[in-house]
Amino acid sequence: MIMKLPSFENDLSVEFQVDASTSEQSTSTSTNGEMLKKRTFCSSTLGINPTLIRMALAEALGTFLLMFCLCGMMASMEIMGVQVGLMEYATTAALTVVVVVFSIGPISGAHINPAVTLAFAAVGHFPWSKVPLYVVAQVGGSILATYTGKLVYGLKAEFVTTRPLHGCTSAFLVELLATFIVLFLSASLTNDPQSTGPLSGFVVGVAIGLAVLISG
């Protein structure tokens, strides 16, 4: 009579798998705990919200890219002796906005304009507590972009300064309509982000290009 001895291989393998998964979970838990402690230290001791700082830096970078690309395009045309047309300016603005929206949109929302931030806060899509930091970041990014353009291309203030051709009233109305187009579309996308899906960045870019074309 042959007796079959019990096999412990399966039991041992199961025990090893359980031990491995338990050690992985403990390691992951300890890592998350350390990250949470660091964030808590920054928030409580230093009074800094890392997420908010990250959002503000993204806004500053996005505004910097927009202003530098526009100034760089005009400066390059001026250096080559080519007259900058309205279509070139609008296309550059639209393409830059598309790039910025796709790059920093998931981080900060890609406002890149104080008017957008204030409008979103007014309709309840953005907290008022974050508005000052966003505006400071956007203005700071714009100033840094113009100074960088001055260092790279030797830009002068007169080169990037616009003047109304038909009086201040006409300029105000045109800017009001152009801003309304951009904000209306942005608010629509915020209310129903599934309407355009992954094409939202391109839609915003087209709106910016259209606003540039009608405002001149």
Residue 60, pLDDT > 50, answer yes
The SS3 of residue 30 is helix
Q: Is residue 42 part of a domain?
A: no
The predicted model gives 4-28 an average pLDDT of 49
Q: What is the pLDDT of residue 176?
A: 85
Residue 161 φ then ψ, to 5° = -95, 130
Q: What is the pLDDT of residue 15?
A: 47
Q: Is residue 39 part of a domain?
A: no
pLDDT tens-digit map of 47-56: 568 889 999 9
Residue 199, pLDDT > 70, answer yes
Q: Is residue 150 part of a domain?
A: yes
Q: Is residue 21 part of a domain?
A: no
Instruction: Give the residue with greater pLDDT, 197 vs 11.
Output: 197
In this structure, what DSSP letter does residue 80 have?
A: T
Tell me how far apart the alpha carbons of residues 212 and 86 are, in angstroms, rounded to a whole number: 8
Q: What is the pLDDT of residue 122?
A: 87
Q: What is the pLDDT of residue 8?
A: 44
Residue 6, pLDDT > 70, answer no
Q: Is residue 207 part of a domain?
A: yes
- Give the count of domains, the chain: 1
In this structure, what DSSP letter does residue 46 have?
A: S
Among 19-28, 44-53, 61-70, 162-171, which stretch is predicted with the lowest mean pLDDT? 19-28
Q: Could you tell me the pLDDT band of residue 182, with boundaries at 50, 70 and 90?
A: confident
Residue 144 φ then ψ, to 5° = -65, -35
Q: What percent of the chain has pLDDT over 70?
A: 68
Residue 216, pLDDT > 80, answer no
pTM of the predicted model over 0.85: no
Q: Is residue 140 part of a domain?
A: yes
pLDDT tens-digit map of 142-166: 999 988 888 888 766 556 666 666 7
Q: Is residue 180 part of a domain?
A: yes
**E strand segments, 19-173:** none
Range of the domain at 70: 50-215
Whichever domain contains 199, its CATH number is 1.20.1080.10
| Closest to 208 in 3D by CA, of 65, 55, 66, 60 | 66
Q: Is residue 18 part of a domain?
A: no
In this structure, what DSSP letter does residue 163 have?
A: -
